[in-house]
Amino acid sequence: MASGGRLWRGGALLLAVAAMLPGCAALLPRQVGVADRLAALPRQGLDLQRPVTIRWNSHLVPWIEAETDADLGFALGLVHGHLRGAQVALLRMVARGRLSEIAGPLAVDIDHALRILDFGRAAPEVERRWPAETRDFVQAFVAGLNRATSGGPRPPPESALLGLRPEPYSAADILAIGRLAGSDINWLSLFSLLAERGRPGFARLWRRTLEAGASLTPPEDEADPRQAALNGLLLGLSRSGSNAVAVAPSRSASGGALLASDPHLGLSLPNLWFIAGMRSPSFHLVGLMVPGLPITGLGRNPDLAWGGTNLRAASSDLFDVSRLPPEAFAESEVTIRQRLWRDARRRIRVTPLGPVVTDAALVPSRPGEPIALRWVGHEPTDEITALLRATRARSAAAFRESFAGFGVSPQNMLHADRAGTIGRLTAAVLPSRPGFPAADPVLDGADPAATAPWRQLRDAGSLPWLENPPEGVLASANENPATWADNPPRIGWFFSDGDRVDRLRALLLARPKLTPEDMAALQTDTRSPKAALLAEGLLARLDSLPGGAPEPAMLARLRGWDGDYAATSEAALVFELLLVRLVARLVPALLPEGREGGGRGPETGWDFITTFLLRDLDALPPARREAVLRGAVAAAAPLAARWRNWGEVHRLRAAHWLVNLPLLGRAFVLGDFPVGGSRETPMKTGHGLVSGPHEVSFGSMARFVSDLADPDANWFVLFGGQDGWLGSAAFADQVPLWREGRAIRMPLRPEVVAVEFPEVTVLSPR
């Protein structure tokens, strides 16, 4: 693996040098003001039925007013393409498994894995089933997107660096991007577990995984950078996290229901969300959209607000298909074009239980055991129609009914309407499982009992939902549905450990009347109650050692900690440095004889740590437990003396995603600053085990708050900015707002929109 890593880095260096000359526009982008970016928007001779007015604020947030729904779709596509054209192009390259056309032979194995996952597999049947209103809206959106990206006078600055050329989009491309955004986050855990199968102690590891839930964070010491890159793509681009809360009018200071939601995704720039307001005969709303998709994932119309969190349901199963007959395998060969290199050819096999994912070099496998992936995303579910209808819903009941047939990624959808109803629903399509196997996550594809759950899929109409709880508040943070639903079906096995949702509920219930300011404060909260309890438990065990706890000066910085991961916290720093040294000693101590390594995979995840760390410590023989504790403290002490507080090691970097390029990446860093939060704080800033300075790459990257008492009381902010154009004044102008807990108001009343969005662009038909 080490030699493979050197080959990757060496080849990447050569590609970077080859790309440097044509990429100078990206390395030294010309600074562009908001007025210049608006002037570059195509506005004449467009495929419209009537003129369209777009109003803009100083952050380049559009508010679109169209006289027909089709014209609204076209204008949205035009704006997405103009502001985020390069980002949408990259999303398509990932969704279609075409990264080798950018990175050459370095990405062939990644592309092969992506081609096997085949995010566009269901697109033809989804398109065939679309109702006319969906088809018309998507076609108009695609037409606008193509008009903006068809090769204007100046391509995006990074186009030459990446070798991107204008290429028309299709509805199938849009569906593939949507499936990429809806990929199953359980894949990271399942693929990690595949590497452990067959080793001594695997059955115990799987039982503990089912009890604790697996870690969302891929192994930090991943030796193969290609595998790390694939993990990063799936984690950073899928809707894998989030918080959402709703408050009934009885607990609201304004007398209207409140809703707040903050999605958790990759923290690179440009942001993976896009703020927009819009009005046409059927639509009137403000919200967050995924670039390249014609749907609003969370937002507000005059009567209803909505947000959501990833359900973390198991929308996939792995099947051992070695006992299927040869005719069950449909085999094909794909051609992968490579930049600066000849084409590569790879085999793809598909069975009735899904593609054989272990044919990908980056998916661990055992010899002679082909494993297929059955995923709801390969079924013809229809998320676009569901969300288009949801954005037009005027009541809680209509909103709930909109999600029939919504498949991936499974979501907890929270909503609040103007009549005062607050609720949550399970938006998913899932197999009707009786449970999960106790010994192995890989099922026998030749066993009819194992495949039976996929013959009867359940959707939102038969999955749990809840309205108007007695306490008047709802909170969701990727928690187990068993905590709020009576007798829920076996939805999944990997959920948040509950720390975030418990903290959110405690904050909501602490005040008799809540305001939008209180809701915004929730989104910047950096306390982890479970971390405080774990620290208290560790101190108690250290204090009970013969002769007392070692390193009293260091441990004094930890005593009395309330779990607050503020950037200025000394205790958070000491806790994390102690934790990594403790896990490094404890996990190998628990591994059976003959098992190599340790400290990787699920054992190092927060769910495992909070579930098993103290339990496993207490299960050790006293002498061994003392050695583990003393060794961990001794190893952490010099590190704790090196840094003052959490923010010195916990860093948030504002950087374009091109920062990942070798040699050239540093040119795309805009800033680096200390940040609070942790894995399971409401303001999530995800990380693994910490030994020193590290960069946060996943967390709370957008925020939304709404008060249903006032149609104009809606606020949004992005970590980054609206414009993906390198050098634009609106590329990262919202980062200071995000850091300070401020936001941009998105009103609904036309007269207020006219005042707060003063720049006007008129799009004219041919």
Residue-wise pLDDT tens digits, 44-53: 999 999 999 9
User: Could you say which DSSP state residue 310 is in?
Assistant: E
Measure the CA–CA gap between 262 and 701, rounded to whole angstroms.
7
DSSP H stretches of helix in 557-663: 570-590, 606-619, 622-642, 646-649
Which parts of the chain sit beneath pLDDT 50? 1-21, 217-222, 590-600
Cβ atoms of 251 and 61 within 8 Å: the answer is no
Measure the CA–CA gap between 537 and 578, rounded to whole angstroms.
13
Other beta carbons less than 10 A from residue 28's beta carbon: 11
- Provide CB contacts within 8 A for 29, sequence distance 6+: 157, 726, 727
Backbone angles phi, psi at 489, to 5 degrees: -65, 170
The predicted pLDDT at position 218 comes to 47
Other beta carbons less than 10 A from residue 128's beta carbon: 9
Measure the CA–CA gap between 189 and 338, rounded to whole angstroms.
30
- Tell me which residue of 266, 377, 269, 227 sits closest to 316, measured CA to CA: 377
Tokens for 10, please give them. Answer: 């060496």
Measure the CA–CA gap between 120 and 96, rounded to whole angstroms.
7
Q: CB-hemisphere CA count at 13 Å for 69?
A: 17
The predicted pLDDT at position 12 comes to 45
pTM score: 0.94
DSSP letter string over 120-169?
TTTHHHHHHH--HHHHHHHHHHHHHHHHHHS--SS--TTHHHHT------
Q: In what order do the strands lie in the sheet with 694-696?
A: 669-674, 650-655, 694-696
Domain ranges of the chain: 529-562+570-644
Tracing tokens 């005059």 back to the chain, one arrives at: 302
Cβ atoms of 577 and 690 within 8 Å: the answer is yes
The predicted pLDDT at position 163 comes to 87
398-405's contacts with Cβ under 8 Å and 24+ in sequence apart are: 399/304, 399/306, 399/425, 400/425, 400/460, 400/465, 403/427, 403/459, 403/460, 404/459, 404/460, 404/461, 405/381, 405/429, 405/459
The predicted pLDDT at position 488 comes to 80
In terms of DSSP bridges, do strands 650-655 and 694-696 run parallel, antiparallel, or are they unpaired?
A: parallel
Give, in order, the Cα–Cα distances in Å from 208 to each of 3, 100, 193, 198, 693.
34, 38, 12, 16, 30
- Tell me which residue of 9, 140, 5, 165 sits closest to 85, measured CA to CA: 165
Percent of the chain with pLDDT over 90: 77
Give, in order, the Cα–Cα distances in Å from 66 to each of 49, 69, 145, 764.
10, 7, 16, 11
Tokens for 288, please give them. Answer: 């967050």
DSSP lists the bridge partners of residue 698 as: 266
